[in-house]
Copies of this chain bind each other. A is one copy, B any other.
Amino acid sequence: MYTQAEENYLKVIFTLQKVKEEPVNTNLIAEKLSTKASSVTDMIKKLSAKKLLSYQPYQGVMLTKTGRSIALKVLRKHRLWEFFLVDKLHFKWDEVHEIAEQLEHIQSDSLVDKLDYFLGLPKYDPHGDPIPDKAGNFTGEELISLKDMEIGERGILKGLKDSSNVFLKYLDRKNMVIDDQIEVVEIENFDRSVLIKTNWETFYISEQVAKNLLIKRKSDEL
């Protein structure tokens, strides 16, 4: 069993490591955890002694297999709880993060599995981040930004990059919700605005909006 502090370090290091494959440096971790570099060094030594990460002084850290699997478990719990909060308790997307930060540390394997099942084994959290399965694998495909889709491509709206209130309200007015089907009809060369066709209507969205819509590509097998 690991402490909340340990879990938070592992989680942050995992997400930082995903961005660039190099060792993660102390200051970055400190910044993400709103703590001081000296505290990070202390904790890093502890986690290194527990073989959750490998650490050469002054050279940054990399998670071991064990460390990564713990991080993935925490991430899984975080995203499942976020899904629960939005889907079942009807929280807004931008209200759930700090609550999920607490819930992700609840210890009980059976709880996670039952929750997963109760929610219908979701593949993405409300922000479009993929939810690892029990084994730590991401089974859902990567989501892409709508602005990277090509003309004629279809997909399903699965998440948002920006979940601010203004943006949510905008989507509301356009009657767009998660799991909507979207087809790219046209891309305007001048301002990169996109003509999209939803289940209900066809309309233009600006590049800024397109950038913030996360889409699961429609697989051709259908």
Q: Does A102 contact B (CB under 8 A)?
A: yes
Closest to A107 in B: B102
Q: Are A89 and B102 in contact (CB under 8 A)?
A: no
On whether the beta carbons of A118 and B106 are closer than 8 Å, the reply is no
**What CA separation (Å) do A108 and B99 show in the bound complex?**
7
Report the Cα distance A85→B99, complex, angstroms. Answer: 18
Chain A 91-117 near chain B by CB (<8 Å), digits 1 or 0: 100010011001100111011001100
Q: A98 to B107, alpha carbons, bound, how many Å?
A: 9
Contact partners of A99 in chain B: CB under 8 A: 106, 108, 111
Q: What does the 1/0 interface line of A110-138 toward B look like (CB < 8 Å)?
A: 11001100100000000000000000000
A88 at the interface (CB under 8 A from B): yes
The CA-CA distance from A102 to B4 in the complex, in Å, is 12
Complex Cα spacing A95 to B111, Å = 10
B114 near A91 with CB under 8 A, answer yes
Q: Is A20 an interface residue (CB 8 A)?
A: no
9 examples of A-B residue contacts, CB within 8 angstroms: A88-B118, A89-B114, A90-B114, A91-B110, A99-B108, A99-B111, A102-B106, A103-B103, A103-B106
